[in-house]
Structure 1
Amino acid sequence: MDVTTNLSLGDPLEPARKATAAMLRERDPSFSLPQPFYSDERLFQIDMQEIFHKEWLIAGMTCEIPAKGNYLTLQIGANPIIVLRGAEGQIHAFHNVCRHRGSRLCVSDKGKVAKLVCPYHQWTYELDGRLLFAGTEMGADFDLKDYSLKPVKVKTAGGYIFISLAEHPPAIDDFLATLAHYMEPYDMENTKVAVQTTLMEKANWKLVLENNRECYHCNGSHPELLKTLLEWDDVTDPRASQDFKDQVAACTSAWEAEKIPYAHASFGLRNRIVRMPLLKGTVSMTMDGQPGSKKLMGRIQNPDLGSMRILHLPHSWNHCMGDHLIVFTVWPISAQETMVTTKWLVHKDAVEGVDYDVARLREVWDATNDQDRRLAEENQRGINSSAYQPGPYSKTYEFGVINFLDWYSERLLNNLGDTPATRLRQVGAE
């Protein structure tokens, strides 16, 4: 809903906002969320307005728009967005909405343009968003400077493009500086997307994230993934075996010799980077555990780098290996539908059919993504039942889920303006 409508009609979600804040304040953090958080369309709209319109999101990779005029588009709720590379390599982001009568400017997922030209009435914009041409029909007193494209906040680091629709998004620079350091060995400007997939899941976006944040289900569901993946995120995990700790110690010595960053770095509950070994004898997330691409990334000489795992809430997880990277992003569509995109990145000089085979590259995660889709959809079907009530999480096996929902609850309450200080002021006013 746009600001004009809010001003003229009020906010029809206001009762739902108050109820949402109350449910979050009263919930047991060690239990799953109340049913409306996974199924109610009003609460979905609140999620979009207060999480996906206010937090930082990964829009894509810088290598996807390598040259001036290259662009990519995406949809965040009702908001079409365009991200493009302008003059001198600068990356811009705008609402993909013409300032004339609101038509989308770019209708393709990706492309290259000299200028941004609206297909409806040919209003023309510079790549930095300035309106250049609107025709003499607008009259002599029409000022082009008043109708630039509406900008979207954008930052880049380590080959990733982050955007936020918020006027004042949360601080993220410390994480981005660390991300740039950890991604340095990969030389991300000299990579390319080898293949991308899109999966539609009939489940709430939070169920997709909850499923990702634990490996409690892995043994029963992911035979392909467990050919290489070790489920622990750190040697401090209470379930980590001594063999695993010894393997980490041996690997970190080798990584230090090559000056490969690996130490666990966390930024609250929203962001985490950590490099962990893969199963002994494997170096990449392929069916046989061997490199998916013969040409290694950046300055990397040793393919045995394990998997550097990057978490970015509310919607992304990543696996970075010596030969290729995998970037996952989650995009809410409705209360019970979510789009998951997966991108496999390789060195830009790697040749398909020579250095890598696309089918082999994506085999493990195609299977895993589909297995996770079925799990999330069955989870959603059960939650829709009148018999559902929040259930307890395992504090050892599902601590990642607890962390995600703690972050979500804190950010949603904060963005709703429901904080202890606010509540005290309200009580005083009463």
Structure 2
Amino acid sequence: MTPTQAVIDLIARRQPRHSLPRELYSDPDVYRQDLEQLWHRDWVFAGHTFEIAKPGQYFTLQIGDYPVAVVRSKDGQVRAFHNACRHRGAKVCEHERGKAAKLVCPYHKWTYELDGNLLFAGNMGADFDKTQYGLKPVHVEVVESFIYVCVAAKAPDFESFRTAVKPFIAPHFLDHCKVAFTSDLIERGNWKLVFENNRECYHCDGTHPELMNSFVENLSVAGVGSEDDPELAAHWARCERAGMPSKLVMDIHGRFRMTRIPLSAGAVSYTLDGKPAVAGRLDQSGEPDIGALLYFNYPSTWNHFLGDHALSFRVLPLGPNETLVTTKWLVPESAVEGVDYDLERLTKVWIATNDQDRRLVEGTQAGVNSPSYEPGPYSEVAENGVCQFDDWYCATMLERLRGPIPLKSVG
């Protein structure tokens, strides 16, 4: 049996509204197919435009097999390249982030312009044609400061996502923000377990005491959503009157979702007392309580936007049982640490929540790896979101491995 057919058979074994078979969380051949069918083909959230505000600034990331560098070029454009020298393949940008007038390979000093064109290659002879050896470009798109990249030869559609997400993010003016703090957390668990954990709050009351001072999961929007919840409908109406799009928008295939939810009574931010962590506002709506805008875009990101700050989360697979989760706290660019915000107060809730989630994911991975593991049923009340993620994963993988099939459900 081929590895492709083996993965098809594993997905076909999944019972409706149940967690996935063991091998889908742990088998190296499945992980290889996850990379080839999803991570190497889809748009992946890389970072924010304000992280590379000036020409020459860059950051790097690893998407499966592909090292990528994202650079601000001299013309102000955001560009992305395969981070491999066209000489012998060494990484051109060695560091996680930096600033350079030119991109210089550390191995043999081949030198590239910020637009990827090769400028200098010593000892290559008079007949060497530099124009044939520029850095290989990576597809890049920007929407409201969010930089997405795709390492595939041909990138999939981006416009449907851009059209859906732009109205939600635009009122938060992220182009005028900066990163106040970054957390990189390696979780010893499969990337799907990381996302499953994010897509439900069944575990929250018993695990996240800091978060639950302000966050309240709204089950109406966990799966496909419903406007039957009067509190949610009233919150949407109030926010939309203030110019803040709020009603649930979800891709027909379930790949992305945006919606705004109310926080607990009296809370307006993710702090222990629910009060703002940052002086001033991201938005100009005039509405003091906009709750939290939540958006995810599989397979690489989920996000939270509040009145005073925002958080972006990036997921990158490192191996069958290892995932990098990067969290960035975003504040107005004019905000001064120690004056407009206290860094510990700003980050305390989600630093604690992320570490609690890490322990849950790692414990789940250990249990899933056991030969005794059997997939269990999802709650029809509290786990529609995680079921929706698994439905999306299975349908997308099967479509790409064997051709189009309909989704079983999106609930």
TM range (shorter): over 0.9
Matched, 1:73 2:57: no
C-alpha offsets along residues 222-246 of structure 1, whole Å, 9 cap, x if unaligned?
Answer: 111111111015479899999xx44
SS in 1 for 2:273: coil
Matched, 1:260 2:244: yes
Tell me which residue corresponds to 1:168: 154
**Letter of the structure 2 residue corresponding to residue 263 of structure 1:** K
C-alpha offsets along residues 125-160 of structure 1, whole Å, 9 cap, x if unaligned?
Answer: 11111111112x111111111111111111010110
Matched, 1:62 2:21: no
C-alpha offsets along residues 360-415 of structure 1, whole Å, 9 cap, x if unaligned?
Answer: 11111111111111111111111111111111112331111111111111221223
Tell me which residue corresponds to 2:9: 22
Cα displacement (A) at 1:417: 3.9
Tell me which residue corresponds to 1:179: 165
Give the 5 Å matches for 1:343-358.
343-358=328-343
SS in 2 for 1:376: helix
Q: 1:92 aligns with which of 79, 96, 99?
A: 79
Deviates more, 1:93-102 or 1:70-79: 70-79
Tell me which residue corresponds to 2:409: none
Matched, 1:223 2:213: no
SS in 2 for 1:392: coil
CA shift in 2, pair 1:165/1:420, >3 Å: same
Tell me which residue corresponds to 1:10: none
Gaps of 5+ in 2: 407-411
C-alpha offsets along residues 76-112 of structure 1, whole Å, 9 cap, x if unaligned?
Answer: 1232110011133211110111001111011111111
Is the Cα contact below 8 Å between 1:21 and 1:418 reproduced in 2? no
Give the 5 Å matches for 1:195-274.
195-232=181-218, 234=220, 245-268=229-252, 269-274=254-259
Is the Cα contact below 8 Å between 1:324 and 1:347 reproduced in 2? yes
Q: How far apart in 2 are the matches of 1:303 and 1:195?
A: 25
Q: 1:50 aligns with which of 13, 18, 37?
A: 37
Tell me which residue corresponds to 2:91: 104
Determine which structure has the larger helix proportion and give its number.
Answer: 1
The structure with more radius of gyration: 1
SS in 2 for 1:152: strand
Is the Cα contact below 8 Å between 2:225 and 2:248 reproduced in 1? no
Q: How far apart in 2 are the matches of 1:272 and 1:235?
A: 9
Q: Give the root-mean-square deviation of aligned CA atoms.
A: 2.1
Give the 5 Å matches for 1:365-376.
365-376=350-361
Q: 2:303 aligns with which of 318, 332, 343?
A: 318
Give the 5 Å matches for 1:265-344.
265-268=249-252, 269-344=254-329
CA shift in 2, pair 1:256/1:30, >3 Å: closer
Is the Cα contact below 8 Å between 1:117 and 1:124 reproduced in 2? yes
Q: 1:146 aligns with which of 132, 151, 170?
A: 132
Is the Cα contact below 8 Å between 1:190 and 1:298 reproduced in 2? no
Cα displacement (A) at 1:42: 1.9
Between the aligned residues of both structures, percent identity stands at 45
Is the Cα contact below 8 Å between 1:188 and 1:298 reproduced in 2? no
CA shift in 2, pair 1:270/1:131, >3 Å: same
The count of residues paired between Structure 1 and Structure 2 equals 405
Gaps of 5+ in 1: 1-13, 422-430
Give the 5 Å matches for 1:6-17.
15-17=2-4
**Letter of the structure 2 residue corresponding to residue 151 of structure 1:** P
Q: 1:401 aligns with which of 379, 382, 386?
A: 386
TM-score, normalised by the number of residues in structure 2: 0.94
Cα displacement (A) at 1:113: 1.3
Cα displacement (A) at 1:279: 0.8
Q: How far apart in 1 are the matches of 2:21 and 2:97?
A: 39
CA shift in 2, pair 1:225/1:352, >3 Å: same
Is the Cα contact below 8 Å between 1:298 and 1:347 reproduced in 2? no
